[in-house]
Structure 1
Amino acid sequence: MFALIGNRAGGSRGRSQGLYPGAEERRVLPRPLRRVVRFCVSLATGRIYIPEHTGTIATFGFFAVVGLYGMSLGGHTQTVAQATTAAAGFAIEDVRVSGNDQTSEIDILQLLGLDGTTSLVALDIDAARRKLSELPWVQYAEVRKIYPKTIEVMLKERRAFGIWQHGSELSLIEKDGSVIAPLRDNKFASLPLFVGRDAEVAAASFEDEMSGWPELKGRVKAYVRVAGRRWDLHLDNGVVLKLPENNVAKALAVLARLEKEQGVLGRDIAAVDLRLEDRTTIQLTGAATERRKQALEARAKALKKSGEQI
């Protein structure tokens, strides 16, 4: 019994090896390749249905991909996008600008390159904001798209504090001394004038110090920085006040007392020197000096004549 089963098993193996010689040596394709081979066989035997015009569509798709790749390499993608979206009805036709007191709308349109055919879709908001921030008066800019044909530009402009004269140049400055733009007209003539090297940097602090003397401040035509250390005040009547480097408030208090007691600023004088704490020097004008000289000479003659008569 056991022998019979064993022979059958052995015979079965023999038959298997006889019927399929070399079966163990056959190579089996990897699973991904099997699918590719089955697809190719099905495509060749007609078991897969291919819709009409598939080749035409594939050809156009191929050329479209090649064209897009070529535009990308040539840097023409933005231009094509502009033209395509503008033709589709997204050309910018309305620009709303707010916050531009000193900045011209024409300058804004030219800087952004808006010519009536610019596409709203293709407009680079970040690049537009950076360009607007480069304008002299613009401190901050915001650009927003409003579909289908409008952009909104909101500006925050810098504020002019004074006029700075350096050499023969006149510039508008902010309170921190930053230069805004050259002075081109008389629109800002009412702003204080600061003259000299480093005057723009020290202007704000000194102007605040002068706020305690409003009447004198109202008569100042120019604040002149001397050697980067102290100030001379040029008044509206031509008188020059020479202030010390330190203790400016004390010097101005002395001047206020002289003005109250003697009306010194209304006299024919050229300058008041307040730089020394223990004395105040007053410089006369040329005409006043000549008159004083003549008066002294006349007095001397009168005294001499009086002495001779005695």
Structure 2
Amino acid sequence: MKYGIIGAGAMGYRFGVMLQKNANVDVDFIDTWERNVEAVREQGGVSVARDHENRHIEPINIFYPEEYHGYPDVWIIFKKQMQLAEELKRDKAAGIFHEDQYVFSAMNGMGHFEKIANYFAGDHIVCGTAMIATRLDGPANVDFMGAEGTEVMHLAKYDNNSADQIFQAIVADFKRAKLNPVVTDDWLGMCMSKVVFNAVTNTLCTMFEMQMGQFIEYAGVREMAKQLFDEAYDACERAGIYLIATRQEQVDSVITVSQEYKYHYPSMYQDFSKGRPTEVDYINGYIAKIGREHDFVCRTHEFVVHEVHMAEMMRKYHQMPENSAN
């Protein structure tokens, strides 16, 4: 099959390059960040390293939406939550969406599948999560974190129906790409499991500007994680959402994943450190929203959201790098 990547950022490059290189399928990249597109064209591809080593140029095809005339079987979307609505509107206006196409996304946070469903039929949407650490160090410059083969991802049908032929083909291509897909039958519980995990590691590492390995050096990490997880699980259970991991498994995963990626700064910190808005409203804020909708106040998550926004506000009093991305 042919794939189109919407959003040539850290994860867009990761999925696209691995599909192109390992699964030997055709991949086109669509992006609206001019510096990124032009850098790819100037250097003949995207500069890729893995764990800071073996940097090289991977040739790719990249386009602005308005100049694209390809016809992928499957779109893969990786945009920041706050940019997605405008991106989909622009892509639709450019005429690159078609009724028979499928779409896959494994973005951070929640709220994106509802937006995607405005443009694609529910039975053509594939939901995903990815426990895959990647850094975008600049335009057309990406670093895949973790040894090849350690990638972990889950996917499920948005309509929760049985797998069709295209869905099975997507899974097969992801396997050949060495993305290690695991199929589940409940997209909401699957996605919320990742949101709840990120609500601890991404948010706390960002607030204290630390790597994941530094984060777990603190003796109180398990207690902090348990407090945030318990609150999130209580809210989800009241909403009838059942996560694929137990509370204890989530607490344990904070330690094991942070050990695996001990030198990694989570994506929320990467945005924060570059002066960009964070996705905290779509992570901790989404958990708090679910709670309030079901008569349960997630006081810790609501407090953490305010803390992150306060940290964002304080950047105006400090010299920050120029906002380099849309």
Report TM bin, short chain: under 0.3
TM-score for the superposition, normalised by structure 1: 0.21
TM-score for the superposition, normalised by structure 2: 0.21
Q: Flag the structure with more relative contact order, 1 or 2, with Cα contacts below 8 A and sequence separation at least 6.
A: 2
Structure showing greater Rg: 1
